[in-house]
Structure formats: C-alpha cells, structure tokens
Amino acid sequence: MLKYQAIAEDLRQKITQGTYQPDDQLPLTSELEKIYHASKMTIKRALDHLESEGLIVKRRGSGTFVKGLAMNDLDKLIRHSRSQLFGMSKVYAGHAVTSKVRVFEIVTAPKEVKTQLRLNHETFVYRIVRVRLLDGTPFSLETSYMPIFLIPNLRRQHAEQSIFSYIRDSLHLKIQSAHRIVRVRGANSQESAELHIASDSPVAVVQETYFLASGIPFNYSVTTHEPKHFALETVIID
C-alpha cells in the first residue's frame, strides 16, 4: 500500500472511531508530517483523498476539519466511496447480494453496443441478463455486453457470482474507470415482472461503460433499478 493511501486510511479510521470527531480540527499539516514521517506533498495528497470523499474540509489559513456530519453519514460516505467501481456487493456489507442469470449467450454486437465499446467490425459479445437480489428481494435487472476477445472463457457460473471478480482475479485485468448516465422512466413489462413492481412504476436506468487500465472499454451495461432501494450518492468537490 502506498504511503499516502496508508495515511488516508489511518486518518479515516481515526475519524470513524471518534478519535477525531465531527467539527474537530485535525493536526496541522506540519504536525502530520512528523507523525507520519512524510513530506508536505504526501500529507496533502492523503488529505485530498479524504476531502474528495467528503469526510474533511480544508481551510487555508485556518486548518483542516472533520466535516460536521452525523457519524452515521460519515460511515455511509466511507462505505460508498469504496464501492464506486465495484458491484453493489460492498455497499450492502452484511447483506446477501445474489444473482439470477436469465440470459447467457453470445451474439454479434448490436449497434449501440458497437458504438459504446468502439467496435468497428462485426464482433462477438456476451449478452448477459441478470436479476440482482438483496436478501432474496430483487432490486435490479441488468443487461451487460462484453467482447469475448477481451474477456475470454467467461462462464455462466461467473455471472452467478461476480463478473468483476473474474476479470480482476482470474484474468488479472485492471478496471480503471467508468462513464455512467442515470435516467428515469416507467418500467416495461419484463422489468415490472422481474422486479415485482407495477408496470409503469418509476425505475432508475443506469447506463455504464467500463474501461480497463489500458483505456479500452470492455463492458457496456444498462441496469434498471427498482425505486425503493435505489439511491445514488455523490460528493462533488470544487
């Protein structure tokens, strides 16, 4: 683990454990330099991370302070910021997230998929449709496309567990970033049936394109979320 990450992690813990409480002032950067035997830039970087997670506020001329939120909210921010690029599995720690695979097939990439994944020629892609459940209750319906030449040997069994784990742990590929668009509309008949909601009931539609560290998009997915459990939290800085 990198030094600035370790420092951020340590401060994060001290905030959740109450060593530093909401509205408390953190030690001065000059003091943090001594505490962690790090340079000014490294300390700044660690603090920048915590700031982008919404945990602290820096005031030039005054000091650095824990954001004045309920501990509950601070906890939520931490859990949330760690799960940005991963499945829902981490957000719902303590709950069982499972999947029912409805479709697992290989097709030639449809037009929208070709565009999103920047495929110029006819290309075979997995088409995977899954219902995701939280403690047995369905909360989302996901349709996902991945080129087979990028993600070889994917099996139905992986889709039942975590596709991302397979990509990271078995293929040793790094997921670097994602573009996400959230929209709203009424549920269609399949969605209402799978998510146990009235037809035309409001749903959140999340369209995502995931990129590998190489910059290549490898996954295009459209996920429909049942309204009751859907909540997308973000912290905006600057």
Question: Could you identify the residue written with the tokens 């997915």?
Answer: 221
CB of 227 to DNA, least distance (A): 38
# residues contacting DNA (CB under 7 A): 24
182 binds, among DNA, a second copy, none (CB under 5 to 8 A by kind): a second copy
For residues 28 to 67, the per-residue mask of contacts with DNA, x marking binding by CB under 7 A and - elsewhere, is: xxx------xxxxxx-xx-x----------xxxxxxx---
110 part of the interface to a second copy, by CB under 8 A: no
Structure-token pair, residue 66 = 């824990």
188 part of the interface to a second copy, by CB under 8 A: no
Query: What is the CB neighbour count within 10 angstroms for residue 109?
Result: 21
CA distances from 39 to 34, 92, 186 (A): 9, 37, 53
Query: Residue 131's Cα: distance from chain center in Å?
Result: 18
2 part of the interface to DNA, by CB under 7 A: yes
Continuous segment of H or E residues that includes residue 26: none
User: Which of 30, 153, 189, 234: binder of a second copy (CB under 8 A)?
Assistant: 234
User: Which of 137, 182, 188, 190: binder of a second copy (CB under 8 A)?
Assistant: 182
# residues contacting a second copy (CB under 8 A): 48
Q: Name the segment binding a second copy (CB under 8 A); options: 12-20, 51-59, 155-163, 165-173.
A: 51-59
Residue 98: partners with Cβ closer than 8 Å, 6 or more residues away: 132, 133, 136
Residues 150-179 that bind a second copy (CB under 8 A): 176-179
57 binds, among DNA, a second copy, none (CB under 5 to 8 A by kind): a second copy
Residue 220: partners with Cβ closer than 8 Å, 6 or more residues away: 112, 113, 116, 117, 144, 145, 146, 207, 208, 209, 210
* CA-based torsion, 55, 58, 62, 64: positive or negative: positive
> For binding to a second copy (CB under 8 A), which residues are involved?
41, 51, 54, 57, 59, 65, 67-70, 77, 84-85, 115, 118, 176-186, 200-204, 211, 213-217, 225, 227, 230-238
